[in-house]
């Protein structure tokens, strides 16, 4: 999988706005990655109880910027939080094992041998909150 950008679905929701405002770009990407691995919209294996696949890879830019854009006006704001990779071709690769346990639940394990790129400070888009490094996958015990 390749993550190209992230847009908040319910942009005027105070909970969603608070999440985007207070959560690091790295954690947002980790949360989105985990949700994609669990929901599996592309239908990748494994398919059956007891099966595991250890060849899941997620590629993303090494630096990301949070954008907060008001598409409305001062009276009727329509905030849109977005996450975009910063310019440059530096990427990182995360490696996962996906298993389906005896209850039919997908279990995700981050595997070693991921490749980390380096986030180089650079120019950002208007309304950007700056570039943040996102490589590596935080420990997440509740998957």
Biggest CA-to-CA distance, the chain: 55
Task: Give the residue among 113, 120, 110, 65 at the shortest CA–CA distance from 88.
Answer: 120
What are 8-61's pLDDT values in tens digits? 766 667 788 788 888 999 999 999 999 999 999 889 999 999 999 998 988 888
Which among 96, 83, 93 has a CA at the least distance from the CA of 136?
Answer: 93
Chain segment 97-112, per-residue pLDDT in tens: 999 999 999 999 988 8
Q: Say what percent of the chain tops pLDDT 70.
A: 80
State the pTM of this model: 0.79
For the chain, the structural domain boundaries read: 6-133
Chain centroid to CA 32: 4
Q: Do residues 96 and 36 make contact, with C-beta atoms less than 8 angstroms apart?
A: no
């Amino acid at each position: 999988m390749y993550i190209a950008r992230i847009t908040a679905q319910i942009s005027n929701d105070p909970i969603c706005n608070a999440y985007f405002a207070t959560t690091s770009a790295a954690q947002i990407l980790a949360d989105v990655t985990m949700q994609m691995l669990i929901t599996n919209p592309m239908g990748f294996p494994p398919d059956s109880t007891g099966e595991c696949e250890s060849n899941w890879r997620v590629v993303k830019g090494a630096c990301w910027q949070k954008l907060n854009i008001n598409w409305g006006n001062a009276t009727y704001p329509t905030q849109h939080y977005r996450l975009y990779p910063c310019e440059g071709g530096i990427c990182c690769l995360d490696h996962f094992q996906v298993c389906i346990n005896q209850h039919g639940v997908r279990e995700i394990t981050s595997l070693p041998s991921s490749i980390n790129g380096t986030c180089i400070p650079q120019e950002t888009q208007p309304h950007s909150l700056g570039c943040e490094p996102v490589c590596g996958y935080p420990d997440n015990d509740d998957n």
